[in-house]
Amino acid sequence: MPETVQLFITCIVDTFYPEIGQAVVSVLERAGVQVEVPKNQTCCGQPAFNAGMRVQAREMAIQTIQVFEAAPGPVVVPSGSCAAMLRHSYPELFAADETWLPRAKALAERTYELTEYLVDILGVTDLGARFPGPLTYHSSCHLLRELGVDRQPKALLGAVQEAGGSPSENFTLVQNLPLPHADECCGFGGVFSVEHPHISAAMLERKIANIESTGAPTVVVCDAGCLMHISGGLHRRGKKPRVMHIAEILAKR
Amino acid sequence: MPDLFHSRIDLSLADVDLQVALDGNAEKRITGRRQAFASIPDYQERRQRAHTVRADVVANLDRYLEQFVQRVQENGFIVHRAADAAQAVQMILEIIRQNQGKLVAKSKTMVSEEINLNHLLEAAGLRVVETDLGEFIVQIRGEKPSHIITPAVHLRRGQVGQTFHEKLGVPLTDSIPEMTAVARKMLREVFLSADIGLSGVNFGVVETGTVCVMTNEGNGRMVTTVPPVHIALMGIERMVPTLDDLALMMSLLPRSATGQKMTVYASLLHGPRRADERDGPTQRHLVLVDNGRSALRTSPLAEILYCIRCGACLNACPIFREIGGHAYVDGKGAGGTYPGPIGSVLSPALFGQAEFGHLARASSLCGACKEACPVDIDLPKLLLRVRAGGTQIETRHTPAHVPGYLDVGLRLFAWVAKSPWRYHTAQKLVGIFSRVVAPSSSWIKLPGMTGWGYSKDFPRPALRPFHEQWSARDKQASQEPVGVRDLPEVEPDSGSIPSAPKLLTSVAERLARFDVELSALDGKFTCCKQTELAEKIWALLQERKITGIMAWEAGSLPAGLLACLREKGIRIVHDPNPQVEAGLTGALAGVAETATLVLPGGPGRPLTASLLPQVHIAVLKAEDIVPDMLTALKLPEVRQSAATALISGPSRTADIEMTLTLGVHGPREVHVFCLVD
């Protein structure tokens, strides 16, 4: 009997990138789990939390906690920063609240970022994906530093087969080109990119230069926030590279 | 958003020289730090231990402070405790007046910046000279330091050359060694004629009452050794309980700050010059400054007091890299003391949420600062707490500094997101509305004033959000789960894990390691027998045409060495003499892992012999090389000395464009003769 996971799709994927949501579902199903998407989920509250508006952040956190309390099993999140919000910031948000702290912690304990869940919990790295390379991988800040997730997405991408060129009997692995300063922030930072657009732009400029230096046509991320930011920057500059969520790569066959 | 902070940021972003300087700083410092930590594989464990040590100090501050003050007083320091900045300045002025002081030679202390000491002393008619090269540069430019470790990091060499030309009247140059030589010459005069030496304190050791001052250029040793009165200025939280803890911090601070295994100099101070000593100040004062620290201990920002002021978070921070230290201004546009991530928490914590709370909003919360912090301070968590109100987290209202548009927008968003129905309706509406705005493109070109639109396009929301697609999904048609091939376990990335350090168990291993480490620091290491020693030293002096040396007394050096050198025509003095070009000392011990010489002062062992001359020659016995810093710190002679100098290679600076230059205030050459009899 396959395990059932609860997908927290996140507001950005839900609203802007439903195709990433579809890819996430197909990747999870291919990995052998059954996916449920609790109906009443909205936003985890990260924008308000990062803005310092804890009153509003709490309202959204309570909504999220309640929705997932009614949905047993692991909670899988396809964005590093939203997963980190549930795992680390909810306990901070309710630190002085006896009622909600245990409930926040209970959710934190069963929350996983997508690649973390696939590799660490399911023990899967090869999903039989095929994608035309080469690829380069940007380490999203919260994923890398708050969740400590780095080898998992790299292992998953390391098992993707090359789909480019002429079909051949001998599969080759897709080329993963190292992104210089991959762990440097792209300048998104949620409300930061709006409050300090000029600093954000300078950081984005450097990220884009690094991406271009690899020559890879595809940049892979595990956070829809970074995806929205970097792809918005590339589009504004008329640059070629395309930013994709890791699930979109893993779902391709 | 035309506030002063934003205007200051824009100035920084438009300053081409500053951008080049900051890029150079970030690149060199981040690489340097990573390389330095590769030599201690248990780095993460040490970091956690350091966090625990600092947490303990802050949690039990009163008890530790009481013990520390008692020990320091027993050692011979005169201790002053200042509740706030004004009191600290008053106390320092009083000490200076009592000693009829006119000229104050100062080494780096961030606390002095915090209490605005220089200006207030100058206003009282005193001459105050900064002696750290970077501090000296910003002082003559009339600026504040832009970095807590490298104060002139915002400048390029050409700008420094121009400043020296204009302010000091020297010929225009962009040669860093030439500029360094100019500063050395000028500041040497200051050290020798100053009535007061004023330093900061890196660590106060509770169990021994040791005051530890660490510098690279040698100015820290100068101001704590040469002027007749030494005043040490210390934030009350800068204690560590034991020598073990000091050794731990010594392994972390220099690596984090400048990528060095050890600073060139560390002075371990216990008290004033003793009756039988030839140098050292006759008075040592310790001014302990609270200035808001005690109050912070019980606030949500208490963790910021764990900071050991290494500056690694500044170097790692992508925002600091863009805007530089001078952009971290208060609400009135005046420069703050502490820039970067640490400053964005510390300034509002100590000097006011209203004045400095906005700084914490200039962060993408990427966590590079936490990752770089050698005591693992959770800076993103603290930055978020400052955003939420700082020492008083707002649980009912929107805190100050949240821009109005964000307040309105996020309140609305929260109201929408609290109700799935409103949320789904809103998604539907933006999906439709965005197609009116951008009918033919999947991108929306927002205007620059929206913030986002300044540098990027905005994706057009989907007409059918994911949840809607999911609801409609035909469950029957859903893919059957496919079998997943079994694969070997993913191996953790082993490439970056360095091999365990060799235990330096034998004398030969320790000697070899000392040699390697000293050479890496541009020091010279020579093994010889005692019978060859005088000849080798004489040859070295001959080669440099040096005819006179300042030496330890015969009783503290190998028997017959001085007599032998005298016979060969070398003049020998023992009293501090700035004209002499070489100094000859012994060494109590050498530390293999950092090539550190341990030189306790005392009768017949003037500390200035290893400080004033251009060339320092040290004689070390092979069996006195100990494996690590802790062993050296625990030697009883260190504890018993009024002052001990730890010396790791020649005096150095990288204050101009991160470019390493040797021989700033201390010796330019360090020669260690190791006796292997």
Span B166-183, mean pLDDT? 94
Q: What are the φ/ψ torsions at residue B67 (nearest 5 degrees)?
A: -65, -45
Domain containing residue A168: CATH number: 3.40.50
Subunit contact B430:A125, Cβ cutoff 8 A: no
Q: Which residues of A touch B481 (CB under 8 A)?
A: 2, 29-34
- How many domains is chain A partitioned into structurally? 2
Give one DSSP letter per residue of B523-543, joined into a string. -EEEEE-HHHHHHHHHHHHHH
User: What does DSSP assign to residue B460?
Assistant: P
Is-contact A161 A132, C-beta < 8 A? no
Its domain, for residue A14, covers: 4-120
Helix-strand-coil percent breakdown of chain B, rounded to 5? 45, 15, 40
Smallest CA–CA distance, residue A48 to chain B, in Å, is 6
Q: How far apart are CA B654 and CA B657, in angstroms?
A: 7
B325/B316 Cα distance (integer angstroms): 13
Strands (DSSP E) found in B187-318: 196-200, 203-205, 210-215, 229-235, 239-240, 265-269, 283-289
Query: Residue B529 to residues B561, B589, B617, B676: CA-CA distances in angstroms?
Result: 12, 17, 16, 6
Looking at CA atoms only, how far is residue A19 from chain B in angstroms? 8
* H or E segment and range at residue B79: strand B78-82
Task: Judge contact between A192 and B364, C-beta under 8 A.
Answer: yes
B272 touches A at CB < 8 Å: no
Residues A13 and A105 both lie in one domain: yes
B213 closest CA partner among B607, B670, B635: B607
The nearest CA of chain B is from the CA of A15 a distance in Å of 5
Q: What is the mean pLDDT of residues B135-154?
A: 95
* Band (B477; pLDDT cuts 50, 70, 90): very low
Closest partner residue to A53 (CB to CB) among B402, B460, B478 is B402
pLDDT of residue A167: 58
**Among partner residues A22, A199, A204, which is closest to B362 by beta-carbon distance?**
A199
Q: Which residue in B has a C-alpha nearest to residue A80's C-alpha? A: B366
**Residues 319-338, chain B: which have Cβ within 8 Å of A?**
319, 322-323
Q: What share of chain A is helix, strand, coil (3-state, %, to 5)?
A: 50, 10, 35
When pLDDT is averaged across residues B114-121 and rounded to a whole number, the result is 96
pLDDT bracket for residue B663 (50, 70, 90): confident
pLDDT band for A2, please (50, 70, 90 cuts). confident
pLDDT digit string, tens, across residues B517-575: 999 999 999 999 999 999 999 999 999 999 999 999 999 999 999 999 999 999 999 99
Q: Is B447 on the interface with A (CB under 8 A)?
A: no
Cβ atoms of B607 and B229 within 8 Å: the answer is no
Of A83, A99, A120, the residue that ends a domain is A120
> Helix A54-69 crosses helix A100-109 at what angle (to 10 degrees)?
60
Q: Are residues A47 and A138 in the same domain?
A: no
Residues B23, A209: contact at Cβ < 8 Å? Answer: no
Q: What is the pLDDT, as a whole number, of residue A166?
A: 58
- Which of B364, B371, B402 is best to mutate for the A interface (most A CBs within 10 A)? B364
Angle of CA points B262, B264, B269, to nearest 5°? 95
Q: Do A236 and B455 touch (CB under 8 A)?
A: yes
The percent of residues in chain B predicted with pLDDT above 90, rounded, is: 92
Mean residue pLDDT of chain B comes to 93
Instruction: For chain B, give the percent of residues with pLDDT over 70.
Output: 95
Regarding beta strands A135-137 and A176-177, do their DSSP bridges make them parallel or antiparallel, or are they unpaired? parallel
CA distances from B415 to A42, B522, B559 (A): 11, 65, 86
Q: Does A9 touch chain B (CB under 8 A)?
A: yes
Element of type H or E holding B405: helix B404-417
Q: Using a CB-CB distance cutoff of 8 angstroms, which residues of chain B are in contact with residue A236?
A: 445, 455-457
Average pLDDT over residues B382-389: 98
Lowest-pLDDT range of A48-52, B205-209, B309-313, B478-482 = B478-482
Determine the residue type at B143: E
- Residue of chain B nearest A119, judged by CA positions: B490
Q: Please check whether residue A231 is in contact with residue A242, taking contact to mean a CB–CB distance below 8 angstroms.
A: yes
Confidence check: pLDDT of B111 > 60: yes
Tell me if chain A has a CB within 8 Å of the CB of B400. no
A163: pLDDT confidence band, cut at 50, 70 and 90?
confident
**What stretch of H or E contains A5?**
strand A4-7
Q: What is the mean pLDDT of residues B510-520?
A: 96
For position A169, what pLDDT does the model report? 58
The residue of B12, B30, B381, B470 whose CB has the most chain A CBs within 10 angstroms, and thus the best one to mutate to test that interface, is B470
B641 vs B271: CA distance, rounded Å: 8
Whether residues B490 and A42 touch (CB distance < 8 A) is answered with no
* CATH 3.40.50.10420 placement within chain B: 4-294, 507-675
A43-52, B73-82, B169-178, B465-474: range with lowest mean pLDDT: B465-474
The pLDDT assigned to B500 comes to 46
Contact (CB<8Å) B6/A196: yes
Q: Taking each helix axis as running N to C, give the angle between helix B404-417 and helix A54-69, from 0 to 180 degrees, rounded to the nearest 10.
A: 20
Reduced to 3 states, what is the DSSP secondary structure of residue B166?
Answer: helix
User: Which SS3 state, helix, strand or coil, does residue B673 take?
Assistant: strand
Asked whether the beta carbons of residue A146 and residue B381 sit closer than 8 angstroms, the reply is: no
**Among all residues of chain A, which has the CA nearest to that of B323?**
A199
A69 and A129 in a single domain? The answer is no
Q: Indicate the Cα dihedral angle B638, B617, B665, B314, nearest 10°.
A: -60
Unique residue bearing structure tokens 């208490």: B302
Distances (CA, A) of A21 to A157, A245, B184, B464: 19, 10, 64, 12
Mean pLDDT (chain A, rounded): 95
Residues linked to residue B550 through DSSP beta bridges, in sequence order: B573, B583
Reading the block at residue A6, the tokens are 């609860």
Picking from A20, A29, A42, A231 by the largest number of B CB atoms within 10 A of its own CB, the best residue to mutate is A42
Spatial neighbors of B208 by CB under 8 A, at least 6 apart, are: B71, B243, B270, B639
Q: For position A253, what pLDDT does the model report?
A: 87
CB-based contact, A187 to chain B, within 8 Å: yes
Q: Is the per-residue pLDDT at B480 higher than 50?
A: no
Beta-sheet strand order (sheet of A34-36):
A34-36, A4-7, A75-77, A111-113
Cβ distance B467 to A39 less than 8 Å, yes or no, reads: yes
The reply to whether B494 touches chain A by the CB within 8 Å rule is no
Could you say which of 3.40.50.2300, 2.30.30.830, 3.30.450.40, 3.40.50.10420 is the CATH number of the domain covering B507-675?
3.40.50.10420
Last residue of a domain, one of A92, A120, A148: A120
Q: Is B371 on the interface with A (CB under 8 A)?
A: yes
**A51 touching B (Cβ < 8 Å):** yes
A160 with A236, same domain: the answer is yes
Q: Do A43 and B423 touch (CB under 8 A)?
A: yes
State whether B361 and A21 contact (CB < 8 Å).
Answer: no
Residue B80: other Cβ atoms inside 10 A:
19
Could you say which of A103, A120, A137 is where a domain stops? A120
Residue B543 has what pLDDT? 96
Is there a contact between B364 and A193 if contact means CB atoms under 8 Å apart? yes
Domain co-membership, A185 together with A217: yes
Q: Is A142 on the interface with B (CB under 8 A)?
A: yes
pLDDT, mean of residues B397-405: 95
Q: What are phi and psi of B195, to 5 degrees?
A: -90, -25
Can you name the residues that pair with B645 across neighbouring β-strands? B267, B599
Give A137's strand partners.
A220
Helix spans in B521-653 (H)? 530-543, 561-567, 629-633, 636-640
B451 and A193 in contact by Cβ < 8 A? yes
Residue B640 and residue B98: Cα distance in Å, rounded? 29
The CA distance from B204 to B238, in Å, is 6
Q: What is the mean pLDDT of residues A173-202?
A: 96
Residue with the two structure tokens 């003499």: B577
- Within 8 A by CB and 6+ apart from B385, the residues are B300, B301, B393
Q: Are residues A142 and A247 in the same domain?
A: yes
CA B365 to chain centre: 22
Going by pLDDT thresholds of 50, 70 and 90, the confidence category of residue B622 is very high
How confident is residue B91, by pLDDT bands cut at 50, 70 and 90?
A: very high
Tell me phi and psi for residue B234, to 5 degrees.
-140, 135
Contact B365 A189 (CB under 8 A): yes
* A159 at B interface, C-beta within 8 A: yes
Q: Are residues A31 and A131 in the same domain?
A: no
A4 in contact with B, Cβ within 8 Å: no
Residues A75 and A157 in one domain: no
Same domain (yes/no): A55, A23? yes
Q: Report chain A residues whose CB lies below 8 A from the CB of B394.
A: 52, 54-55
* B303-347 pLDDT per residue, tens: 999 999 999 999 999 999 999 999 999 999 998 899 999 999 999
Same domain, A139 and A92: no
Which chain A residue shows the shortest CA-CA distance from B369? Answer: A145
Per-residue pLDDT, B501 = 52
Model confidence at B578, in pLDDT bands (50, 70, 90)?
confident
Q: Is B204 in a helix, a strand, or coil?
A: strand
pTM: predicted TM-score of the whole model, two decimal places: 0.95
Phi, psi of B617 (to 5 degrees): -110, 125
Place of tokens 């007091």: B305
- Nearest chain B Cα to A140, which residue? B366
Do A149 and A225 sit in the same domain of this protein?
yes
What pLDDT was estimated at residue B497? 43
With beta carbons under 8 A apart, name residues in chain B contacting A24.
Answer: none
- The fourth-level CATH superfamily of domain B4-294 is NagB/RpiA/CoA transferase-like (3.40.50.10420)
CA angle B447, B449, B451 (to 5 degrees): 95
R_g (Cα) of chain A, nearest Å = 18
User: What is the pLDDT confidence band of residue A170, given thresholds at 50, 70 and 90?
Assistant: low
Chain A residues with beta carbon closer than 8 angstroms to that of B490: 119, 125, 151-152, 155
CA–CA separation, B399 and B404 (whole Å): 11
Q: Can you tell me the distance from the alpha carbon of A92 to that of A85, in angstroms, rounded to the nearest whole number? A: 10
Residues 6+ apart with CB under 8 A from B335: B144, B326, B328, B329
The alpha-carbon radius of gyration of chain B (Å, integer) is 29
Confidence of residue B491 (pLDDT cuts 50, 70, 90): very low
What band does B658 get if pLDDT is binned at 50, 70 and 90?
Answer: confident
In angstroms, rounded to a whole number, what is the distance separating the alpha carbons of residues B610 and B215? 15
My answer on whether A110 and A193 are in the same domain is no
Beta strands in B456-581 (DSSP E): 458-459, 524-528, 548-551, 571-573
B190 pLDDT band (50/70/90 cuts)? very high
Rounded mean pLDDT of B491-507? 56
